[in-house]
A and B are shown apart, each in its own frame.
Chain A
Amino acid sequence: MNKKCREIESLLSAYLENDLPKEELESVSEHLQGCSVCLDKKEKMEEIILRLSELQEEVPFFLKNRLLNIPEMIEKTKPVKLLYFPKWLAAAIGTIILFLNLFYFTNIFPPVHREVHSVVSSIEKIFVKTGGWFEKIKESKELLFFTFFNRKSVEVKENKVSQNLANEKDFVKGGRNG
């Protein structure tokens, strides 16, 4: 491709759109008459411009519906707050629980740890003591029941035992005599 052809190439669009000064227009026309390569390019370009105008399409029905529903779709997909629970409150509760764990289960703050531990142990003592009282009450309860409700049966048993002893004594005496 020579220099003239390159120059003509750069002017082809303007030539097709009639956007060139008269002198240049004539120069391009003259070149095209004598150069088949440039003429072919010019004709192809002309054909492409015509065909490009056919590429415009209507928006498909389903796409248009999707586009029209965008506001509704966005509103639906917005995260819904199920329960109003301020974040700062959740963070504060979480932090307090963490600090309590630190005081009790670790040795990071020993004095506090000891205090907490003594409180916990005293609570445990109270539980042990109260447990002991309950046991005592239970035992005494059993004694009371034994004394009040089982008195008769004890007496009968005692009588039976004394009778048996008397019978044995009589039997021994009879044997000696006999």
Chain B
Amino acid sequence: METAEILARCKNGDQEAWNMMINSYSKSVYNIALNFFAERDIAQDVTQEIFIKIYHNLDKFREEKNFSSWIFTISRNYCIDYWRKNKKYFAHTQELDEKISVGKPTPEENLINESEIDQLRKMISRLDPDLRLILILRDIQDLSYQEIAKKFSVPEGTVKSRINRARLKLAQAFMREGI
């Protein structure tokens, strides 16, 4: 079934078409949220909210646009809005730069003994939101520079330089922490 047909059926309340949409796009949206916030509970709530928003806005989607780009735009806007609204909660997620150290793990953190993957996610969640999203799309979701440039409506060269900056910040942070 083509995307246009799935969409048309979703608009008419077809549960089967909605299931197909969830099967196609939920993994991508969930991984954006998970690696953006580095917290599973938040990522799950955010993913649900994003799909509720998608369901409510199906009528607004214009067919000449790319559906996956439209979903990404909704996900990106929702993640950034949520992050801004809850900035106090995410206060620990200071931007990674040379002046701010990530800090040694507290005794509690040592007790939790978080996995390397969680450590990496936490590091990513301290990047600037746009750098974070570009890095997620390129290195986690394996999208091409061209696709990312389209989604962000920026030149390919800008995407490349941002990816390099994000990777470099992560590498420097890891080196400082001795991880």
Chain A residues engaging chain B, CB cutoff 8 angstroms: 9-14, 19, 40-41, 44-45, 48-49, 51-60, 63-64, 66-68, 70-72, 74-75
Contact = CB atoms under 8 A, between A and B. Distances in A.
Contact of B51 (A14, A49, A60, A67): A67
A67 B164 CA distance: 35
A60 B27 CA distance: 9
A68 B22 contact: yes
Given A59-B27, A63-B30, A74 B120 contact: no
B31 A56 contact: yes
Q: How large is the interface on B (under 10, 10 to 19, 20 to 34, 35 or more residues)?
A: 35 or more
Contacts of A58: 27
Interface stretch (B11-19, B74-82, B146-154): B11-19
B48 A63 contact: yes
B120 A60 contact: no
A40 B120 CA distance: 18
9 contacts: A13-B163, A14-B164, A44-B171, A48-B167, A49-B167, A52-B139, A54-B117, A56-B27, A67-B51
B44 A48 contact: no
Given A55-B35, A68-B22, A41 B52 contact: no
B7 interface: no
B26 interface: yes
